[in-house]
C-alpha cells in the first residue's frame, strides 16, 4: 500500500513525465542523429569538402532531444524543483503533468527518426547536387514541424496547470 | 528592387576580328553569351552557318589546367607560407603575366620534374609497403635458425607451418616421438591465433608425419624466393626501409626547392583557364566562311556602353533590343543593401522567372522579423551581430558567403531587438547571478509569463505574411490582365480569414468579422465555380472551395513555431544559467559558471541560429512562396574573366591593335 501511494504521489508522477520527455525525445534524437551521421560519413569519405553541409543535415534531427529537455525543465521549474520552493502536488496534478509531457515525448521520439530518414536521403541530394542543400534542409524541416507543434502543446499544457 | 531589365544582343562580325571582340567582351564581363538556336533560325540560314567551336582544344587546355592544378595542390602540401582562409586573391599585373607566359616552357619542365619526382616517391612508397609486409610475415619466424631455402637434406625433410593456438603442442610432440621417432619438432613462436612450428624428419617416416600433422590441423608455410634465416631477412628489410626513408627525404627536399614556383604556376593556371573559356565560348556561336555570329543577353543599362565599344572598334552588324514581354532571359536581381542578403534564401529555392516579380523586397522584412523572434535573446543577438560584423569587416567576402554572413548580421540585430522586447539577456543571467535581486524587465512582455499572448501575435504575423503572398499573387494577376481572377480568388479569402480572426476577438469587432467572413464565403460560393457551365455544378464547386479554409488555417497555425522556438532559446539559456550557478559563488564556482556559461551559450546560439534559419526559410518557402511563387529562372552568368587563384589584369583586344 505504501509503495502504491508513493507511486501515485503527485511529484513522482510529474517527475516521471519530465523524465519521459527527456528519455523518449532524447532516444529519438540520438537514433536520428546517429542514422544521418552514418550516411554522412559515407559521403565525407568520398568528398571531405561536403563536411559542413552534411553536418547541418545531421544536426536537424537533434532538436527533438532539446525539446524534450526543455519540456522537462519547464515542468521542474513549475513544481519548484529548480529555482524556487518545491510544491507538494496532488495525485491529479501529477497526472496532469504526466499527460502534458506525452506530446513531446512520443511525437519527439517518432518525428526525430522520421526526420533523420529524410535528412539521410537529403545527403543523397547533396552528393549529387551540392548546391541544392537548402531543398534537402527544407524537406527535413517539414517533418520537424510536428515536433514543434508537440513541444508547443506540451509547454502550453504545463503552463496551464495550476499548482 | 527588382529583376534587372535585360537586352538581347546579336552580333555578326568578321572572322579576323573574332578573337579581339571576344577579348573585349570578356574584359567588359557583362554579356552572357547564349547558344545560337539553329533549329529556329530563319529558313536558308541554317545551311549557310555551322557550329563554331573547337572541342579538342578545350580538352587539351583542360588537361593542362588539371595537371597544373594537381601540381599546385601537391606543392601546397610542402608550402612554408600558409594562406588565410579568406585571403583576397593576389593581383597580377600585365608585365608579370607576360614574363610568365614567355617562360612557359620553363614552368612546364618544372611541372614535369615535380611529376617525375612524385612518381619516384610513390614507387618508394610501394617498395616500403612491400618490405613492411615482408617483415610482418617473417616476424613470427624470427627465432627460426634454419635458412628458409632449406626444405630437405640428403636424408631428411624440413617443413614449417602453423597450427591453431588451441592445439596442444606437447600432445603433438609425444605422438610424433611415439609414431615417428626419427623426427624433431620445435615451436618457434606463438601468437593469439596460432602456433608456429618447424619440423625435421627422416624421409622414411614422411607419410606418418604428414598424417599426424594433418590430424592436428597443420598448414604448411612456404617461403618461396627467400634465402637465409628470417632474422637476417628482417634485418635486411629494415635496412632497406631506412634507405628508402633517406631517399624520400632527398626527393622531398628537391620538391621543396620548387615550392617557390607555386605563385607562378597559379598565374599560368589562371591564364590557361582564361584561354580555355575563350575557346569554350566559341561553341555557343555560329560561323560562316568569313563571319561569326553570337547572341546573348546583357543588362539594359550596359547596352550603350557595349554598343559604343564594339561598333566603335570593329566593323560588324550589332543589334541590341529590349526583351519582349514574357520572353525568358537570364535573371539578375538588384536590391538595396538591406534586402540583398535575403536574396540568398530565394536563390536557394529558385530564381524568379522573367515573367514574375522579385519577391525579395517583401520577403526580407518578414525573414528579419521571424529570425529574431525565433532566437529572441538580446545577448545572443549582440554576439551574432558583432561576430558577423567582424567577419564582414576583416575579410573581403564575395558572393554567396558575403550574403549569408550579412544575413546572419541582420538576423543578429533582429534577435537583439526581439530579445530586448521579451526581456531575454543571455536568458536570465542577471537574475541568476544576483540570486533574483535584479532582473532586466522586458520592454514589451515576457513570453514565459504569457505564452498565449505571443501565440496570438505569431498568428497575426503569419496571417500578414500569407496576406502579403496573396497580395503579390493578386498583383501579378492584375498585371497579366486577369482582374476578375484577382477579385474573386484573392479578395474574398482576405475577408474570410480576417473575418474569422476578428470573430475570435469578440464584441463589436467580432460581429463585424462575422459579416466579413460571411460576405467572403458567399462571394467564394458564387464565383469559385465560374468556369463551369452547369449552374448546379457551379454552386457545388463554389461550396467545395470553402474547404480551402483548412489550408489557410493550417498555414497560419504553422507560425506557432515562432513562439515555440523563441521559448526554447530562453528556456535552454535559463537551464545553462541554473546549471552554472549550482556551485555557488566561491572561486571554483565562478570558474565553473564561466565554463558552463561559455560552452552553453555558444552551443545554444549555434543550435538556435540554425533552427531559426531553417524554420524562417521554411515559412518563406512553404507558406509564403506557396501562395504565388513559381520560380525557375536561370541566373545571369556573364562571359567574363574567371580565375581561381589570382586577379589578372589582362589587356583587351583594343590595346592590341
B513 Cβ contact partners less than 8 Å away, ≥ 6 residues apart? B498, B499, B500, B501, B502, B503, B504, B505
Is the CA virtual torsion A6, A12, A16, A19 positive or negative? negative
* Mean pLDDT score, B312-334: 89
Shortest Cα distance from A52 to chain B (angstroms)? 13
Please name the residues in contact with B491: beta carbons below 8 A apart, sequence gap of 6 or more. B474, B520, B523
Higher pLDDT, B530 or B46: B530
Contact B600, B383 (CB under 8 A): no
Contact A137 B349 (CB under 8 A): no
Q: Which residues contact B545 (CB under 8 A, 6 or more apart)?
A: B524, B525, B528, B529
Average pLDDT, whole number, for chain A? 90
Positive/negative CA dihedral, A6, A9, A15, A18? positive
Percentage of chain B exceeding pLDDT 70: 95
- Least confident among A91-95, B47-51, B434-438: B47-51
Read out DSSP for B582-609? GGTTSHHHHHHHHHHHHHHHHHHHHHHH
Place of cell 467545395: B544
Q: Are B50 and B292 in contact (CB under 8 A)?
A: no
Question: CB distance B568–A67 less than 8 Å?
Answer: yes
pLDDT band at A14 (very low <50, low <70, confident <90, very high): very high
The stretch B621-633 carries a mean pLDDT of: 89
How many Å apart are CA B91 and CA B96, to the nearest integer?
10
Give pLDDT tens digits for B143-186: 888 888 888 888 888 888 888 888 888 888 888 888 888 888 88
Residue B400's pLDDT is what? 83
Give the pairing type, strands B2-3 and B286-287.
unpaired
Q: For B131, how many CA atoms within 13 A lie in the half-sphere containing its CB?
A: 19
pLDDT value for B656: 39
Check pLDDT > 60 for residue B654: no
Residue A131 pLDDT grade (very low, low, confident, very high; cuts 50, 70, 90): confident
Distance from CA of A53 to the nearest CA of B (A): 12
DSSP string, B316-368: EEEEEEEPPTT----B-EE--TTTGGGHHHHHHH-BPPTTS--THHHHHHHHH
* Residue A135 belongs to domain spanning: 2-160
Domain with residue A55: its CATH number is 1.20.120.610
In this prediction, residue B653 carries a pLDDT of: 40
pLDDT value at B657 more than 70:
no
Q: Mean pLDDT, to the nearest integer, of A25-52?
A: 91
Sign of CA dihedral B238, B241, B246, B249: negative
User: What is the structure's pLDDT at A83?
Assistant: 62
Stronger pLDDT, B225 or B610, i.e. the higher one: B610
Q: pLDDT, tens digit, for every residue of B479-524?
A: 888 898 888 889 999 999 999 989 888 888 899 999 999 999 999 9
Where are the strands (E) in B141-181, listed by range?
156-164
Give A118's contacts in chain B (Cβ within 8 Å).
none
- Cβ neighbours of B615 in A, within 8 Å: 141, 144, 148
The pLDDT assigned to A118 comes to: 95
Give the integer Cα–Cα distance in Å for B284 and B33. 7
Domains observed in chain B: 150-222 (3.30.70.2750), 340-628 (no CATH)
**pTM given for the model:** 0.77
Q: Does the pLDDT value for residue B77 go beyond 80? A: no
Of B40-44, B160-164, B377-381, which has the strongest mean pLDDT?
Answer: B377-381
Predicted interface score ipTM higher than 0.95:
no
Q: Residue B333 pairs with which residues in a beta bridge?
A: B3
Q: What is the mean pLDDT of residues B388-412?
A: 90
* CB nearest to B451's CB, from A69, A77, A156: A156
- The verdict on B348 touching A (C-beta cutoff 8 Å) is yes
Nearest to B578 among A60, A83, A148 (CB): A83
* Helices assigned H by DSSP within B442-560: 451-479, 483-485, 491-505, 507-527, 535-545, 548-557
Find the mean pLDDT for residues B626-651: 84
Kindly provide the b/e burial profile for residues B202-231, where b requires at least 16 CB atoms within 10 angstroms of the residue's own CB.
eeebeeebbebbeebebeebebeebeebbe
Phi, psi of B139 (to 5 degrees): -50, -45
pLDDT one-digit tens code per residue, A99-124: 999 999 999 999 999 999 999 999 99
* Closest chain A residue to B455, measured at CA: A152
Identify the residue whose cell numbers are 533523420: A116
Cα A143–Cα A145–Cα A150 angle in degrees, nearest 5? 115
Would you call B607 and A66 a contact, using CB atoms and an 8 Å cutoff? yes
Average pLDDT, integer, range B382-410: 91
Instruction: Give yes or no for B565 touching A (CB within 8 A).
Output: yes
- All residues at 6 or more sequence positions from B598 whose CB lies less than 8 Å from its CB, including other chains: none
Number of domains in chain A: 1
On the question of pLDDT at B570 being above 60, the answer is yes
Please report, rounded to a whole number, the percentage of residues in chain B having pLDDT higher than 90. 34
| Residue pairs between chains A and B whose CB atoms are closer than 8 Å | 74
Contacts of B621 in chain A (CB under 8 A): 138
The pairing of beta strand B316-322 with beta strand B291-299: unpaired
The DSSP code sequence of B99-145 is HHHHTHHHHHHHHHHHHHHHHHHHHHHHHHHHHHHHHHHHGGGTT--
pLDDT tens readout for residues B572-583: 898 899 888 888
**What is the C-alpha separation between B596 and B604, in angstroms, rounded?**
12
- Choose the closest CB to A141 out of B452, B575, B615: B615
Residue among B345, B455, B571 whose CB faces A70 most closely? B571
Q: Give the bridge partners for B6, in sequence order.
A: B299
For chain B, the average pLDDT equals: 87
| Residue A1: per-residue pLDDT | 62
Amino acid at each position: 500500500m505504501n509503495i502504491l501511494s508513493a507511486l501515485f504521489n503527485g511529484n513522482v508522477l510529474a517527475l516521471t513525465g519530465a523524465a519521459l520527455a527527456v528519455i523518449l525525445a532524447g532516444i529519438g534524437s540520438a537514433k536520428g542523429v546517429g542514422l544521418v551521421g552514418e550516411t554522412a560519413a559515407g559521403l565525407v569519405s568520398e568528398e571531405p569538402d561536403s563536411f559542413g553541409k552534411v553536418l547541418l543535415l545531421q544536426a536537424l534531427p537533434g532538436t527533438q532531444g532539446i525539446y524534450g529537455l526543455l519540456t522537462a525543465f519547464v515542468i521542474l521549474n513549475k513544481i519548484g524543483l529548480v529555482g524556487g520552493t518545491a510544491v507538494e502536488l496532488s495525485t491529479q496534478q501529477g497526472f496532469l503533468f504526466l499527460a502534458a509531457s506525452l506530446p513531446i515525448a512520443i511525437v519527439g521520439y517518432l518525428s526525430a527518426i522520421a526526420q533523420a530518414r529524410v535528412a539521410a536521403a537529403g545527403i543523397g541530394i547533396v552528393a549529387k547536387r551540392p548546391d541544392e542543400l537548402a531543398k534537402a534542409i527544407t524537406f527535413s524541416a517539414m517533418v520537424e514541424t510536428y515536433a514543434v507543434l508537440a513541444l508547443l502543446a506540451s509547454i502550453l499544457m504545463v503552463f496551464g496547470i495550476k499548482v | 528592387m527588382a529583376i534587372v531589365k535585360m537586352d538581347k544582343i546579336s552580333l555578326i562580325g568578321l572572322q579576323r576580328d573574332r578573337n579581339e571582340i571576344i577579348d573585349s567582351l570578356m574584359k567588359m564581363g557583362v554579356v552572357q553569351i547564349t547558344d545560337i538556336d539553329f533549329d529556329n533560325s530563319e529558313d536558308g540560314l541554317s545551311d549557310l552557318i555551322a557550329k563554331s567551336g573547337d572541342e579538342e582544344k578545350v580538352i587539351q587546355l583542360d588537361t593542362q589546367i588539371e595537371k597544373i592544378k594537381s601540381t599546385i595542390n601537391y606543392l601546397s602540401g610542402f608550402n612554408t607560407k600558409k594562406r588565410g582562409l579568406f585571403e583576397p586573391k593576389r593581383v597580377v599585373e600585365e608585365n608579370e603575366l607576360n614574363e610568365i607566359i614567355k617562360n612557359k616552357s620553363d614552368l612546364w619542365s618544372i611541372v614535369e620534374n615535380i611529376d617525375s619526382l612524385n612518381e619516384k616517391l610513390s614507387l618508394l612508397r610501394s617498395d616500403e609497403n612491400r618490405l613492411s609486409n615482408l617483415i610482418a610475415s617473417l616476424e613470427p619466424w624470427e627465432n627460426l635458425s634454419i635458412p628458409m631455402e632449406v626444405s630437405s637434406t640428403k636424408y631428411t625433410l624440413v617443413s614449417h607451418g602453423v597450427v591453431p593456438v588451441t592445439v596442444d603442442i606437447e600432445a603433438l610432440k609425444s605422438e610424433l616421438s611415439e609414431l615417428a621417432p626419427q623426427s624433431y619438432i620445435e615451436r618457434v613462436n606463438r601468437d593469439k591465433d596460432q602456433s608456429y612450428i618447424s619440423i625435421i624428419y627422416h624421409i622414411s617416416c614422411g607419410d606418418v608425419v604428414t598424417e599426424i600433422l594433418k590430424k592436428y590441423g597443420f598448414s604448411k608455410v612456404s617461403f618461396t624466393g627467400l634465402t637465409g634465416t628470417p632474422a637476417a631477412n628482417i634485418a635486411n628489410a629494415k635496412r632497406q626501409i631506412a634507405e628508402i626513408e633517406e631517399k624520400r627525404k632527398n626527393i622531398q627536399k628537391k620538391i621543396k626547392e620548387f615550392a617557390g614556383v607555386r605563385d607562378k604556376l597559379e598565374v599560368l593556371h589562371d591564364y590557361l583557364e582564361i584561354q580555355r573559356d575563350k575557346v569554350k565560348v566559341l561553341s555557343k556561336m555560329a560561323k560562316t566562311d568569313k563571319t561569326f555570329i553570337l547572341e546573348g543577353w546583357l543588362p539594359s543599362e550596359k547596352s550603350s556602353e557595349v554598343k559604343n565599344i564594339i561598333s566603335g572598334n570593329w566593323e560588324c552588324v550589332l543589334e541590341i533590343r529590349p526583351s519582349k514581354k514574357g520572353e525568358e532571359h537570364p535573371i539578375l536581381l538588384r536590391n538595396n543593401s538591406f534586402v540583398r542578403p535575403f536574396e540568398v534564401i530565394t536563390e536557394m529555392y529558385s530564381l524568379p522567372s522573367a515573367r514574375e516579380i522579385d519577391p525579395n523586397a517583401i520577403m526580407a522584412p518578414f525573414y528579419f522579423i521571424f529570425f529574431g523572434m525565433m532566437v529572441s535573446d538580446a545577448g545572443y543577438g549582440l554576439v551574432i551581430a558583432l561576430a558577423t560584423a567582424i567577419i564582414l569587416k576583416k575579410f573581403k567576402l564575395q558572393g554567396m558567403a558575403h550574403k549569408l554572413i550579412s544575413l546572419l548580421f541582420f538576423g543578429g540585430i533582429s534577435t537583439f531587438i526581439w530579445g530586448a522586447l521579451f526581456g531575454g539577456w543571455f536568458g536570465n543571467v542577471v537574475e541568476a547571478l544576483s540570486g533574483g535581486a535584479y532582473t532586466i524587465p522586458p520592454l514589451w512582455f515576457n513570453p514565459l509569463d504569457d505564452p498565449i499572448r505571443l501565440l496570438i501575435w505569431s498568428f497575426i504575423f503569419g496571417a500578414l505574411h500569407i496576406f502579403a503572398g496573396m497580395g503579390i499573387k493578386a498583383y501579378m494577376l492584375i498585371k497579366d490582365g486577369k482582374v476578375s481572377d484577382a477579385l474573386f480568388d484573392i479578395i474574398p479569402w482576405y475577408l474570410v480569414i480576417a473575418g474569422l480572426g476578428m470573430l475570435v476577438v469578440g464584441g463589436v469587432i467580432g460581429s463585424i468579422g462575422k459579416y466579413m467572413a460571411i460576405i467572403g464565403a458567399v462571394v467564394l460560393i458564387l464565383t469559385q465555380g465560374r468556369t463551369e457551365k452547369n449552374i448546379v455544378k457551379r454552386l457545388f464547386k463554389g461550396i467545395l472551395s470553402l474547404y480551402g479554409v483548412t489550408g489557410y488555417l493550417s498555414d497560419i497555425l504553422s507560425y506557432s513555431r515562432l513562439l515555440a522556438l523563441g521559448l526554447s532559446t530562453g528556456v535552454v539559456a535559463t537551464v545553462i544559467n541554473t546549471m552554472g550557478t549550482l556551485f555557488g559563488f566561491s572561486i571554483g564556482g565562478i570558474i565553473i559558471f564561466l565554463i558552463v556559461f561559455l560552452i552553453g551559450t555558444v552551443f545554444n546560439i549555434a543550435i538556435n541560429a540554425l533552427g531559426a534559419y531553417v524554420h524562417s526559410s521554411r515559412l518563406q518557402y512553404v507558406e509564403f512562396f506557396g501562395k504565388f511563387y513559381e520560380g525557375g529562372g536561370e541566373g545571369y552568368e556573364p562571359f567574363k574573366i574567371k580565375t581561381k587563384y589570382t586577379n589578372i589584369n589582362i589587356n583587351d583586344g583594343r590595346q592590341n591593335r
